[in-house]
Amino acid sequence: MSRIIVFGGHGRIALLLAPLLVERGDEVTAVIRNPQHADEVAATGAHPVVADIENADAEELTDLISGHDAVVWSAGAGGGDPHRTYAVDRDAAIRTMDAAATAGVRRYVMVSWTGSRADHGVDPDNSFFAYADAKWQADAHLAGTDLDWTILGPGTLTFDAPTGLIQLDEPGRAAVARADVAAVIARALLEPATIRRTIRFGNGLDGSPQPIEAALRD
């Protein structure tokens, strides 16, 4: 059994992830911003904790993370306001990485996106630029830490039924079901071969997909 803290606990992926972790015997702390979401999160088997991660300082985040075995970052500002995008997707994410190190929690899984690269190619005038830039900066910071990190880069998210299959480095939009992303996170937490790797993936329905466990082990 592991104790796992999930930031962004009311997100669509996190709500699918929590039952997978609970079913295998893990204890899940789901960090949420809105207390009105607590009952929905609790129904997944996770323990909801209300916290304003956008404004929480390093000490508060260290206290939140302490006592856990792993951190999953699945939070985001949801687009829109660039200032808030940087505040959550970059700055708050980075503070949780530093807090994890201070708390002695080495395992950290970042849910990013397949295009997160220094040369992501998004035009600064594009409304998506702030997200692309913030995610890349957060990912780069994580990769420069001594944590046992994994950066997951799913492609375009869908509401399709889970397939249990993924294709690594799938070109193009690399569409992938949110339920499969949740399964990838759950498996990555157990798979040592994912540590200190950036893993980009889609469902590979027109390519050569593999079962998630096999793909992450390669």
Q: Would you kindly state where each structural domain of the chain is located, as residue ranges?
A: 3-217
CA dist 117 and 181 (Å) reads 19
Third-level CATH fold of 3-217: Rossmann fold (3.40.50)
What pLDDT, on the 0 to 100 scale, is given for residue 119? 86
Q: What stretches of 66-177 show up as alpha helix (H) in DSSP? A: 82-85, 93-103, 129-143
pLDDT, averaged across the chain: 95
pLDDT band at 139 (very low <50, low <70, confident <90, very high): very high
56's CB contacts (< 8 A; 6+ apart) are 64, 92, 95
pTM: 0.96
Phi and psi for 120 in degrees, rounded to 5? -65, -20
CA dist 131 and 115 (Å) reads 11
What pLDDT, on the 0 to 100 scale, is given for residue 190? 97
Phi and psi for 132 in degrees, rounded to 5? -60, -45
| Mean pLDDT of all residues in 156-179 | 95
What pLDDT, on the 0 to 100 scale, is given for residue 56? 96
The more confidently predicted of residues 203 and 1 is: 203
Between the alpha carbon of residue 192 and those of residues 58, 110, 117, 148, 213, the distances in Å are: 28, 15, 24, 9, 12
pLDDT band at 179 (very low <50, low <70, confident <90, very high): very high
CA dist 188 and 90 (Å) reads 22
| Identity of the residue numbered 113 | W
State yes or no: pLDDT of 162 exceeds 80: yes
pLDDT band at 77 (very low <50, low <70, confident <90, very high): confident
pLDDT band at 79 (very low <50, low <70, confident <90, very high): confident
What pLDDT, on the 0 to 100 scale, is given for residue 44? 98
Looking at mean pLDDT, say which of 9-13, 74-78, 81-85, 203-207 comes out highest: 9-13
pLDDT band at 218 (very low <50, low <70, confident <90, very high): confident
What pLDDT, on the 0 to 100 scale, is given for residue 123? 84
